[in-house]
Amino acid sequence: MAPSTWQKVKSTLQISHDYNVTPAGIKWRSNTLFIVSTVAVGLFTDLFLYGLVVPILPYMLQDRVGLPENQIQSHVDGLLAAYAGASVVFSPIAGVLADKTSTRQGPFLLGLVALSLATILLFLGSSVPVLVVARVLQGCSAAVVWTIGLALLIETVGRENLGKTIGSIFSFISVGNLLAPLLGGVLYDKTGYAGVFGIGFAILTIDFLMRLLVIEKKVARRYNFTEPADGSEEASAVHDDDEAARGEEEPLLGNKAQSEYYRIPDDQPTIVRKVQILPCLKNPRLVAALVVAFVQAALLGSFDATIPTIGQEFFNFSSLEAGILFLPLGGFDLILGPVFGWAVDKYGTKLAAVGGYTFLVPCLVLLRLPHAGGKDQIILYGALLGLCGVGLAAIGAPSIVEAGTIVESYYEANPEFFGNEGPPYSQLYGLTSMVFSAGLAVGPELAGEFKQMIGYGNMNIILAVICGFTAALSFFYIGEKPKVLQKR
């Protein structure tokens, strides 16, 4: 490639650090909608490729690897846990590294490289070790996309719009959860592995192009570019990043006593000054938000691990039919996600968290009713999964919004401690991703072991009890302190 041509490519893709040369298409590439869409597609791709193989894992292990039937459930659980375990380990590393880099784009692209390698290994692998390596790479990619993506979101839309943005994005990416198991089952049944992974590689290509083209708001401002101040929501969003901390200080901290509560003492060790999320972890609301995220992920993992095997055991389903069982679970999440996200922004995090986990308690208890049978039992099981989908939609946004609110409060009370880089959102969402991934690791193992030991119905009783405890925790620690506990 000629030097002049390479310079044009660098200018177009914003690789050059010469901020006197404005990248081509900077207006639409740094547009709020395009940035949010890029993050949404990245999260969609991660969940889609994760879910694509969930319904076919039992058949893959049996047909391609040659495992006996009595070892299928434990190996399915293990492969799901390998993904989550890798994400647990890599998430905090990704968070710290992302806060030390000047832009989010580089780590975002590296995460996609890991996901591409994982998809190739899943396509070609015919042994358990190769499949484990593939799932580990998928987990590393997930750590990057969730850590970088959520940090990029809050920097783009601001904390005050995070709930409805997260709700809308989760609604969109729930299509990945909704379609991936179904498509995985259909394509495996009709075309084999070529069809399953062909669609995976097509989505990876779209994701790569969007991540390559995106320009962050803060990077656009380095080129002295701002969107026209025409009063639109997108134009004002350009300035929100710089003004959010100053403009929102009073609503967030409220008064001097609250500001002092968030104060970080000056005599902090070196490790705390380098990993700035650490002093925020003394706040019980932040810890509670992480616990809520853990339980949410454990529930998702338990559904992923048990629905395909229940389809086989109760209804003698094929991979296609097992994938269809995910439709009611994901359908309500798709429809109601933006509604609950809007409610979080308007009414706070407590209502959605307490209501969602409380609603899940009877839904999970009722999952002990379906048993092996015909059409009536299939309809009953699908209807109960749909009710569980309503609960999952409600608990999607509260933990992320709550965690962001707490960290921003610490930033506003301690601007000199955090410096010019702003709140440590990458470290926060690296930690959130780690906890969420730990839930995805524990969920399949917990559900799989209890299903084998005490049966599917009793397993769901245990999950219902966990949701009940989480609802109580959310009542006391998520959002503002309950009025009944406030000093008069």
pLDDT at 349 over 50: yes
pLDDT at 356 over 90: yes
Q: Residue 254 — left, alpha, or beta (φ > 0 → left; ψ -120 to 50 → alpha)?
A: left
Burial class (CB in 10 A: 0-12, 13-18, 19+), 282: exposed
Q: Where are the alpha helices (DSSP H) in 284-418?
A: 284-315, 319-324, 326-347, 349-366, 375-394, 398-413, 415-418
pLDDT at 131 over 50: yes
> What's the rounded Cα separation, in Å, for the pair 446 and 463?
9
**Tens of pLDDT, residues 111-129:** 888 888 888 888 887 788 8
Mean pLDDT score, 473-481: 86
Cα angle at 265 between 262 and 268, to 5 degrees? 125
pLDDT at 484 over 60: no
pLDDT at 12 over 70: no
Cα angle at 404 between 485 and 474, to 5 degrees? 35
Q: With bands split at pLDDT 50, 70 and 90, how would you rate the model's confidence at 243? A: very low
In the chain, the domains with their CATH numbers are: 19-220+249-485 (1.20.1250.20)
Structural Rg of the chain based on CA atoms: 23
Query: What local confidence, expressed as pLDDT, does residue 474 receive?
Result: 93
| List of residues 6+ apart from 344 with CB closer than 8 A | 163, 164, 166, 167, 352, 397, 398, 401
The better pLDDT of the pair 291, 480 is held by 291
**Tens of pLDDT, residues 160-216:** 677 777 777 777 776 666 667 677 777 777 887 778 788 888 988 998 898 888 888
What is the distance, to the nearest Å, from the Cα of residue 40 to the centroid of all Cα atoms in its chain? Answer: 10
Q: Which of 84-98, 230-244, 426-440, 464-478 has the highest mean pLDDT?
A: 464-478
Please report where in the chains the tokens 């086989």 appear, as a residue.
Answer: 312
pLDDT at 14 over 70: no
**Tens of pLDDT, residues 369-404:** 988 777 888 889 989 999 998 998 888 888 888 988
Query: What local confidence, expressed as pLDDT, does residue 177 receive?
Result: 63
Q: With bands split at pLDDT 50, 70 and 90, how would you rate the model's confidence at 241? A: very low
The better pLDDT of the pair 473, 80 is held by 473
Query: What local confidence, expressed as pLDDT, does residue 358 receive?
Result: 96
Query: What local confidence, expressed as pLDDT, does residue 387 receive?
Result: 92
> What's the rounded Cα separation, in Å, for the pair 422 and 428?
12
Cα maximum dimension of the chain: 74
Mean pLDDT score, 58-76: 78
Mean pLDDT score, 43-71: 78
Q: Which of 329-343, 344-358, 416-430 has the highest mean pLDDT?
A: 344-358
Q: Which of 13-22, 280-289, 380-389 bottoms out in mean pLDDT, i.e. has the lowest?
A: 13-22
Query: What local confidence, expressed as pLDDT, does residue 466 receive?
Result: 95
Query: What local confidence, expressed as pLDDT, does residue 337 receive?
Result: 79
What single DSSP character describes residue 63? I
> What's the rounded Cα separation, in Å, for the pair 367 and 363?
7
Query: What local confidence, expressed as pLDDT, does residue 16 receive?
Result: 47
> What's the rounded Cα separation, in Å, for the pair 455 and 64?
28
- Cα–Cα nearest to 38, from 139, 112, 136, 117: 112
